[in-house]
Amino acid sequence: MMASSAPISGILTPHMVPLDARGRINEAELARYVSWLVDKGVHGLYPNGSTGEFTRFNVEERRRITSIVCEAVAGRVPVVAGAAEANVAETIQACQHALEAGARAVAIVAPFYFKLSPESVYAYFREIARETPIDVTLYHIPMLASPIDVATTRRLAEEFPRVIGIKDSSGDISHMQRLIAAVRPIRPEFAFFTGWDAALVPMLLTGCDGGVHATSGVVPEVTRAIYDDVRAGRLDAAFARQRQITDLLDITFLGADFPEGFRIAAGLRGFAMGESRQPATDSQRADRRRLAERIRAAIDRCGVSI
Question: What pLDDT digit, counting tens, does each position of 109-164 carry?
Answer: 998 888 899 999 999 999 999 999 999 999 999 989 999 999 999 999 999 999 99
Note whether residue 276 is domain-resident: no
- Cβ atoms of residues 265 and 252 within 8 Å: yes
The CATH number of the domain holding residue 102 is: 3.20.20.70
Is the residue at 269 inside a domain?
no
Residue 283 lies in a domain: no
pLDDT level of residue 305 (50, 70, 90 thresholds): confident
Instruction: Give the residue among 82, 76, 27 at the shortest CA–CA distance from 53.
Output: 82
* Domain assignment of residue 171, yes or no: yes
Decide if pLDDT at 1 tops 80: no
Query: 193 lies in which domain range?
Result: 10-235
How many domains in the chain? 1
**Is residue 104 a part of any domain in this protein?**
yes
Residue 288 in any domain: the answer is no
pTM to 2 decimal places: 0.95
Over residues 281-299, the pLDDT tens digits come to 999 999 999 999 999 999 9
In a domain, 251, yes or no: no
Look at residue 60 and tell me if it is in a domain. Answer: yes
